[in-house]
Amino acid sequence: MKQRLKAVGSRLLQLVVLLGTISTTLFLLLRLSGDPAILLAGEGASPETINAIRADYGFDKSLFEQYLIFIWDVVRLDFGRSLVNSQPALGFVLKYLPSTLHLTFLAILFNSLIAIPAGVWLGAKPTQRRRRVLSAIVSVAQGTPAYVIGLLLIQIFSVWFNWLPSIAGTGTWSWVLPTATLSFALAPNLIRVVAASIEDTTRQDYFRTAKANGAEPRVLLIRHSLPNALLSTTSLLGAQFAFLLSGALITEYIFAWPGLGLILVQSITNLDFPTIQATVFVVAYLVFFVNLIMDQVFRIADPRLRRSQL
């Protein structure tokens, strides 16, 4: 119990250090990126106007003073109001979180449904000619940007066949194309990792022993190869999940999907410091928790890890 509490404490400390480092780096980088007061005042605004806006948002204070205020606000989870739409920044960002989570979960689900069976099929007999063909296709697909995949899918399913909408929020099925775009963009990588892991297990001693004992190929694959292969797959899925949380930017851009990626880009264009800070903070927090959950999944999946700390 004591050890467990210690482990939890160490995790919390990690979170604090992580968020502190991110906040500080972000604060400094944003202050280097430009002056939002000038953007807010517009073309040819007088220096008096710009100074007045600066004073309004506290940008006239010394950098150190601004930093202390910022850290104190972050501790209280107060990111201030958006400079452009005046809404509380954290509330504004959280409003778009469900939409990002929705796309993330669906994309991971479809990605796994496509990639794991394909990877297993590929890795089981990698030298077979037809599997080599798939392997080549996967390599090409891996180099295709999500932007191209998205536009192609829209052209086929929205423009030519008129089956599916391409704009978010315009119908029951508007999630299909963005999800498909992300799944197709993520799947090649996952297929290759699953295939490589499956192939790798076939060279292991326990596999050969099982084979020598006369286990059927199907049993070999499902009972002996797959569970071990899924370990490395899980770590990649975790990374992909974290990547999607930070906003599947290009996909959100093409499909006008109201997610964190889109908010982040808009707020960067407008130098909307509070919104940028709130978005990055939310994403960092989520990624940390995804990693925490993935660690637990590993502990459950891999008995060797259970003996180590959390």
Partner 1 sequence: MRNKKIFSAAVSVALLTLLWGGQAPASAEIKTITIGVPGLPPSQGNPFKEGPGTPGIHTYAAIFDALTRVDSKGVVRPRLATRWKSIDSTTWRFTLRQNVKFSNGEVFNADAVIETIDFLTSVDGRKTVIGSTELPDVTGAKKISEYLIEVTTKTADAILPAKLAALYIVAPKAWKSAGQEVFAKAPIGTGPFKVDSISTTRIELTAFKGSWRAPKSDKLIIIPLADAASRLQALQSGQVNMVAAINPDQIAAVKKASARVFVVPAPQVMSLAFNTIKSGPVTDVRVRQALNYAVNKAEIAQRLLAGKGKPATQGVTPSVLGYNRDVQGYPYDPDKAKELLAAAGFANGLTISADITVGSFPSDNLIYQTVKSDLAKVGVTLNYTTITFAQWLPQYNTNSWKGDAFGLSWNSAPRGDASRPYAIFVCKPVGAFYCNAGEDALVKKAALELNAIKRLAILKEIAVKVTASAPALYIVEQIDLYALGKNLYGFSANNRAITYENIYTGTK
Residue numbers at the binding site for partner 1 (CB under 8 A): 33-35, 38-47, 49-50, 52-53, 56, 81, 84-87, 96, 150-151, 154-155, 158-159, 162, 165-170, 253-258, 262-263, 266, 269-272
User: CB of residue 181 vs partner 1: minimum separation in angstroms?
Assistant: 11
Nearest by Cα to 257 from 187, 158, 182: 182
Among 268, 122, 245, which Cα is nearest to 187's? 122
Crossing angle of helices 89-124 and 176-201, in 10° steps, is 40
Q: Please state the closest distance from residue 108 (CB atom) to partner 1, in A.
A: 23
Nearer to partner 1, 34 or 217 (CB): 34
SS3 102: helix
Pick between residue 39 and residue 226 the one whose CB is nearest to partner 1: 39
Cβ proximity of 146 and 154 under 8 Å:
no
* Between 33 and 309, CB nearer to partner 1: 33
Shortest separation between residue 310's beta carbon and partner 1, angstroms:
39
Q: How far is CA 217 from CA 92, 118, 161, 224, 297, in A?
A: 54, 17, 42, 10, 28
- Smallest gap from Cβ 241 to partner 1, in A, equals 23
The nearer residue to partner 1, 96 or 241, going by C-beta atoms, is: 96
Nearer to partner 1, 122 or 260 (CB): 260
**CB of 187: closest distance to partner 1 in angstroms?**
22
Return d(Cα 228, Cα 223) in angstroms, integer.
9
Give Cα separations from 276 to 107, 256, 265, 266, 289 (angstroms): 25, 19, 9, 9, 20
